[in-house]
Amino acid sequence: MKIQYDSETDILLLIFSKNPPVEADILEDNEHFIWHYDSENQPVQLEILQASQHVENINQMIFEVVPNSSKK
């Protein structure tokens, strides 16, 4: 996964796959969130427009892996 933030355009891009996007879908209830899909209709990117209005502390992101809590 890759995360890119462009402060000039205020766009946050979450990239889930190296597959190129071929289709986009704007959420009906919030046009600032755009899903991008590959040729197999799998989500490959999430684009957030006006990201600083939707993400708290946009300039300081923390990545955390949560341990698996299921017992084996």
DSSP state of 18: S
Per-residue pLDDT of the chain (72 residues; tens, 9 = 90+): 999 999 999 999 999 999 999 999 998 888 999 999 999 999 999 999 999 999 888 888 888 888 887 755
State how far the alpha carbon of 57 is from the alpha carbons of 24, 41, 42, 67, 71, in Å.
27, 32, 29, 24, 34
pTM of the model: 0.81
Beta strands in the chain (DSSP E): 2-6, 11-15, 23-26, 33-37, 43-49
Q: Token pair for residue 28?
A: 């009906």
Give the model's pLDDT for residue 71: 57
C-beta separation of 25 from 38 below 8 A: no
Give the model's pLDDT for residue 27: 85
Give the model's pLDDT for residue 43: 96
Q: How many CB atoms lie within 10 A of CB 64?
A: 4
Give residue limits of the domains in the chain: 2-52
